[in-house]
Structure 1
Amino acid sequence: MDYTIARRRMVEQQIVARGIDDPRLIDVMNKVPRHLFVDEGLRGHAYADGPLPIGHKQTISQPYMVAAMSAALGLQGHERVLEIGTGSGYQTAILAMMTKRVYSIERISTLAARARKVLDQLQISNVNIKTADGTIGWKDQAPFDGILVAAGAPDVPHEYLVQLIIGGKLVMPVGGYHQQSLIRITRLDKDQFKREELMGCRFVPLIGTAGWSEADEI
């Protein structure tokens, strides 16, 4: 399989055709080898229009959703971004190539180690990954210019809001356990936030102190 052709087709048909027009994002998605972030047996499906399993009941997000969430942050290149849910590391790689530094939290150590290995293989070095409860953010490195959460929660954890700079943006799925709305929150000043609903979505649950409990799993 020619992955370069498959990747170009993915970007043209799934990203650009659906209205994503950020030239930097389009260039990055044309470069990052998505197939390296999935198991070998699934590489033939890496550029298909949908999520794929990566083990531990987690998924690599649909390419369009990765693009839409990245675009919603409005990245310019100078930002420090917090990512919640490293997963396969694909979204991490996209963010890393568009920002100054990414701080990524993954609660499953096996996934964090695997993502780190692929990022190192691609010589993407501006990423800090730690295994921890992502629902409480990364206070030691805050504040952040942007926060991207790749798991759905019943509401926005308060720690995310206080760890966002004024003018910064948070993008995350909020709603029920199986179905959410993708929202964007912009911090206007110390106590004021603008909230926008972008689209419907379906993500794995955000597990942790300020999210769902593993006991909630249905």
Structure 2
Amino acid sequence: MTFDFAKARELMVEQQIRPWEVLDPRVLEVLGRMPREAFVADRHRALAYADLELPLGHGETMLKPVVEARALQALALEGTESVLEVGTGSGYLTACLAELAREVVSIERHADLAEAAHGRLQAQGLANVDVVVGDVFAWDPGRSFDAICVTGAVDAIPSRFSGWLRPGGRMFVVRGRVPAMEAVLLHSDVDDHRIESLFETELPYLFGAAPPPEFRF
């Protein structure tokens, strides 16, 4: 029996995404069309639309669909923006960002994940994405962005990330420590930053952004 990915995609949108208050028509349209199964390993294809984090290798995971959807909605992309994604992973969220924005630069520290994601993005005909291999804490894009999407948690929001935002830009990021992690949207104003709390969640830390180990006596 052939697995009905189109039906699974429809159910993901109706039973997971919409109930989590994701109602932006552009976001729902992209999630209802983008073949998530094309971005996961063959052994996980039947789980592509499940409410799960899926393993990618190197201890990395693919975000749950609801978290990806909330991130896309929070960024409120209109199609004219340049976007930086920190952590390419499977390339699925990258693809959704590319459909919603003018261009995407995505940085991934694992060369094999970056190469696989690049191939998947090309297979979807997405030519407005540049996948870069590197450590985001040793990298300088040499430019600024309208929006930034960080796919791993941080203990505190790195100033280098907010420094890459143009005035009026916004960044989706999950910050804090278990059990008090929260997804936030940082708004970059000319003279200051404003942080909007979105929802509570829990993500693995971005490499280099975990809290220092606590010494216990």
Residue 86 of structure 2 is matched in structure 1 by 84
Residues 1:82 and 1:138: Cα distance change in structure 2 (over 3 Å): farther
Residue 160 of structure 2 is matched in structure 1 by 159
1:155 maps to amino acid: A
C-alpha RMSD of matched pairs (Å)? 1.7
1:195 maps to amino acid: I
One of 126, 129, 132 as aligned partner of 1:130: 132
Alignment size in residue pairs: 211
1:15 paired to 2:17: yes
Residues 1:155 and 1:196: Cα distance change in structure 2 (over 3 Å): same
Is the 1:136–1:157 Cα contact (8 Å) retained in structure 2?
no
Structure 2 regions of 5+ residues with no counterpart? none
> Could you tell which deviates more after superposition, 73-82 or 176-185?
176-185
Corresponding residue SS for 2:90: coil
1:200 is displaced (CA, Å) by 1.4
The alignment's TM-score, normalised by the length of structure 1, stands at: 0.92
Structure 1 regions of 5+ residues with no counterpart? none
Corresponding residue SS for 1:97: helix
Residue 111 of structure 2 is matched in structure 1 by 109
Is the 1:102–1:127 Cα contact (8 Å) retained in structure 2?
yes
Question: In structure 2, what is the Cα distance between the partners aligned to 1:201 and 1:96?
Answer: 24
* Structure 1 segments of 4+ aligned residues over 3 angstroms from their partners: 135-138
1:128 maps to amino acid: D
> Percent identity of the aligned residues?
35
* 1:128-176 alpha-carbon deviations (Å, 9 max, x no partner): 0111112356432x21000000001111111111110111101101112
Residue 171 of structure 1 is matched in structure 2 by 172
The alignment's TM-score, normalised by the length of structure 2, stands at: 0.92
Corresponding residue SS for 2:15: helix
Residue 196 of structure 1 is matched in structure 2 by 196
Is the 1:106–1:130 Cα contact (8 Å) retained in structure 2?
yes
Residue 120 of structure 2 is matched in structure 1 by 118
1:74 is displaced (CA, Å) by 1.1
